[in-house]
Structure 1
Amino acid sequence: MLNTEQQHEYLTEPDLLNYIFAPLFETQKAALAISGGPDSMALLYLAAEFSAQQEMPIELTVLTVDHGLRAEAAEEAAMVKVQAEKLGLPCYILKPEKFNPTTRIQQSARDVRYGLMQQKMQALGLTQLFTAHHLDDQAETFFMRLARGSGLSGLGAMARRSVGFGLDLVRPFLDLPKADLVAYARAKNIEYVNDPSNNDEKFERVRWRQALQGLQRLGLQRSNVGLSARRLRRADAALNSIAEVAYSERFFIDPFGCVLFDHAMIISEPAEIGIRLLARALDDVGGATPAPELAKVEALYDVLTMGQTHLRGQTLGGCGIRGHGKLVQVFREVGRVDDQVYELAPGDELDWDKRFKIILTSDAPSPVTVRPASDFTRAKFDQLLPDLSFVPMEAVRAAPLVIAGDEIIALGEHVLGPNIDVFRTFGPNALS
């Protein structure tokens, strides 16, 4: 890859610009996340230079966020706007209505920042966001995750391209050291700011940044950390591909969102694949509940591999896990499902528990209500849907119940009336 000892002039070479900004050839438009620091200002100017070299116009929109955490932030955002407009690019300064975190400040600021940018981009019809994360950021992320005992997915750190916050995130500088970006900004006399929080040791990332300086003196180069992260991502992608095929072919999902699989199958797979399959089932079934930590999934996998097929009382990630003979059932815990009653009008759609999409036609009855089927008994279920005795009632009670007047028109994916569709939004062949 790139020789980090090269001078900054290589950053403007057309071949490099074509490589790092290649995703723009697909969309011809994107947003740039610009904070005002030297690396993000380098992104602003290099992206503008790349755009100017193209025969077809590329629409670039600059987004900068004033979190309101520092008095200087407003001036810094204004500086970004002035620089963007000098380059002929529109710039929007985004501000949260209220933001005053007392803990996890950097994490909270990041979530607010991406949330604001996603909202603005949606309004502008943009989906691709370029950020200025660089090689130094990648090395810091790797060691922060290593310290937490992350698996392959975590140690792969940041990908050059990924999906997050509902956006197509592009990080064109991941192979480039920050020193080169700073040198470029200085050589071009580009105005930029230095955020004092970047040197505040109360933040974990800053402590790792300082530690890496010492490790570099011992021979650990950031470029090699980035190389290892890229190779780990490649291995992670291969294992995910293998697990996805096994999941789609050998896991069954019933109409109420319960995942069933053969106990012998999951323990016959290599441990890494078996753990990924189990994690996928829990993530799917868990719906709106955050995915469980890897260590907890590994502990559950260990229980399964010890031959305990008659599991009772196991819960994880908003799911119940039960062994029944040769089968393992993973179902949504009804107590973790939002028990809100939703009222829908004709033509409405509802994403329910991040597991089901409920769609009413324009001529559907009104009103229609949706809530969990938490009060369903086995007798009531058998009367409504006979011949489904294999379905665990836990899954049924955690499924959406759709009622028009006094009539049940859907339970889970089972549609019992006209003018309505219910689709599962997770697992293979799900509605995307």
Structure 2
Amino acid sequence: MTEHAGRLRAEIRARLPKSLPRRLGVAVSGGGDSVALLLLLNEIAQSEGTKLFVATVDHGLRPESATEAQMVVQLAAGLSVPHQTLNWTGWTGEGNLQDQARQARFRLLTEWARSNDIHAIALGHTADDQAETFLMRLGRAAGVTGLSGMPIARSLDGVTMLRPMLGVTRQALREYLTSEGAEWIEDPSNQDLRFDRIKARKALSDLQELGISANSLTRVAENLAQAREALERYTQESARNVTTVETGDVCLDRAAFQALPQEVQRRILVGCVAWIAGAGYPPRQNSVDQAVKAVEEGIGTSIGGCLLVPQANKMWICRELNAVQRETAHPGESWDTRWIVSGPPVAGARIRPLGEEGLPRILDWRELGKPRQVLLASPAVWRADELISAPNAGFENGWSAELAVGTPEFHSSFLSH
């Protein structure tokens, strides 16, 4: 091993978990970054008794993609590492291609990992990728969370995504590959200025004269990541003081909430929405600011598939009926990706929202102390037009509604994982 390779290996190992998983996935496209990752990780894995598995996502967007995937097959075979090509056929020609391809890539990788008992996947993102991400988010006026960049580790659908090369530049990896006599593929889209990331790449090159480099921006992102973690912990503690949780809904103490710094107020509201409606793209900042104002003024509003419902000095945050109006499931299945409703066998039973049709049939719902809007989107058991049960609205009738396995405890959900 050359001295250069040894430094790269040490840098990568320092950003991996102290104890490597016994089975570790590696996403390899055939580009220089991921090829270098595979070669270096293979050395680390062999020395620590970890078994590697390689996956290549073929998006099928270029005629050469199948040939490139085959090159990775041969590379993995030469290392005696199992390989599988994952094909994406979901592009319809509409929407943001890069975003849809990215989402498909992560979905295919996590499905592959779970089917192969792999709990972590290493990705080939570099310091350059981190710096480009920083510049793109800077252009969108992102805050601390956005500018803290890509995390070193992130849990996604039960699989941990690892980015051990965020401290390594593309140039250093190319030098390593050249010294090893290794081959890699240059994606022509990496020169296409129609894509924002390529524009950011060019801008980063132009900033070199100011001393702004991939390494310096990566350090800035890491500093902001530490600031983000501190904010998350303060937000978590603040949420414990100003919120209570009842059957999946969150109730805010408005006065205590208004005493918090505005950034923490925003984070609490975004966290509530993510916990109730699911963690997708967070609401836009102007929507969050309007929701903060609604809490201050004690008026109702909607945000991200949730409702803010005022009640005296409280503000309830719950699922919005319109967001789940067409959601149905069989008993025991996940409803709204959040609830598991189960009970005695009832032929033809289906889970759907309680709604305006069902709530009047529960005569004592007011005894729960919740506004009616909070109960409308709660899960209920129906047989045709007959209401069998509404566990969260006080009408159990032998049924129960539990949060689905994997749903985080509310207050712990404010911390990045």
User: TM-score, normalization: structure 2?
Assistant: 0.90
Contact 1:161/1:170, CA 8 A, preserved across alignment: yes
Question: Structure 1 301/70 Cα, relative in aligned 2: closer, same or farther at 3 Å?
Answer: same
User: Which deviates more, 293-302 or 106-115?
Assistant: 293-302
Contact 2:311/2:371, CA 8 A, preserved across alignment: no
> CA shift at 1:285, angstroms?
3.2
> CA shift at 1:417, angstroms?
3.1
Q: SS where residue 261 of structure 1 aligns? A: strand
Contact 1:375/1:397, CA 8 A, preserved across alignment: yes
Give the equivalent residue in structure 1 for 2:136: 144
CA distance in 1, matches of 2:283, 2:193: 30
How does 1:250-269 map onto structure 2 within 5 Å? 250-255=242-247, 257-269=248-260
* Equivalent pairs, count: 409
Give the equivalent residue in structure 2 for 1:350: 333
Task: Report the identity percentage.
Answer: 27
Give the equivalent residue in structure 1 for 2:21: 27
Contact 2:354/2:377, CA 8 A, preserved across alignment: yes
**Equivalent AA in structure 2 for residue 175 of structure 1:** G
Give the equivalent residue in structure 2 for 1:92: 84
CA displacement, residues 264-301 of structure 1 (integer Å, 9 cap, x when unaligned):
11110122212111222233333588541233212322
Question: Structure 1 39/341 Cα, relative in aligned 2: closer, same or farther at 3 Å?
Answer: closer
> Is residue 54 of structure 2 the alignment partner of residue 62 of structure 1?
yes
Larger helix share, 1 or 2: 2
Contact 1:145/1:154, CA 8 A, preserved across alignment: yes
**Equivalent AA in structure 2 for residue 355 of structure 1:** R
Q: SS where residue 230 of structure 1 aligns? A: helix
Give the equivalent residue in structure 1 for 2:191: 199
Give the equivalent residue in structure 1 for 2:47: 53
Contact 2:22/2:50, CA 8 A, preserved across alignment: yes
CA distance in 2, matches of 1:85, 1:427: 40
Question: Structure 1 233/414 Cα, relative in aligned 2: closer, same or farther at 3 Å?
Answer: farther
- Which of 6, 11, 18 is the equivalent residue of 2:7? 11
Contact 2:58/2:65, CA 8 A, preserved across alignment: yes
**Equivalent AA in structure 1 for residue 39 of structure 2:** Y
> CA shift at 1:33, angstroms?
0.3
User: Which deviates more, 175-184 or 270-279?
Assistant: 270-279
CA distance in 1, matches of 2:50, 2:317: 48
> CA shift at 1:359, angstroms?
3.7
> 5+ residue gaps in structure 2?
none
- Which of 324, 333, 336 is the equivalent residue of 2:311? 324
How does 1:225-244 map onto structure 2 within 5 Å? 225-244=217-236
Contact 1:332/1:394, CA 8 A, preserved across alignment: no
> Aligned-pair RMSD on alpha carbons?
2.6
**Equivalent AA in structure 2 for residue 412 of structure 1:** N
> Is residue 372 of structure 2 the alignment partner of residue 393 of structure 1?
yes
Question: Structure 1 359/241 Cα, relative in aligned 2: closer, same or farther at 3 Å?
Answer: farther
Give the equivalent residue in structure 1 for 2:239: 247
> CA shift at 1:259, angstroms?
2.0
User: TM-score, normalization: structure 1?
Assistant: 0.87
> CA shift at 1:248, angstroms?
3.1
Question: Structure 1 230/193 Cα, relative in aligned 2: closer, same or farther at 3 Å?
Answer: same
User: Which deviates more, 145-154 or 396-405?
Assistant: 396-405
Question: Structure 1 290/189 Cα, relative in aligned 2: closer, same or farther at 3 Å?
Answer: closer
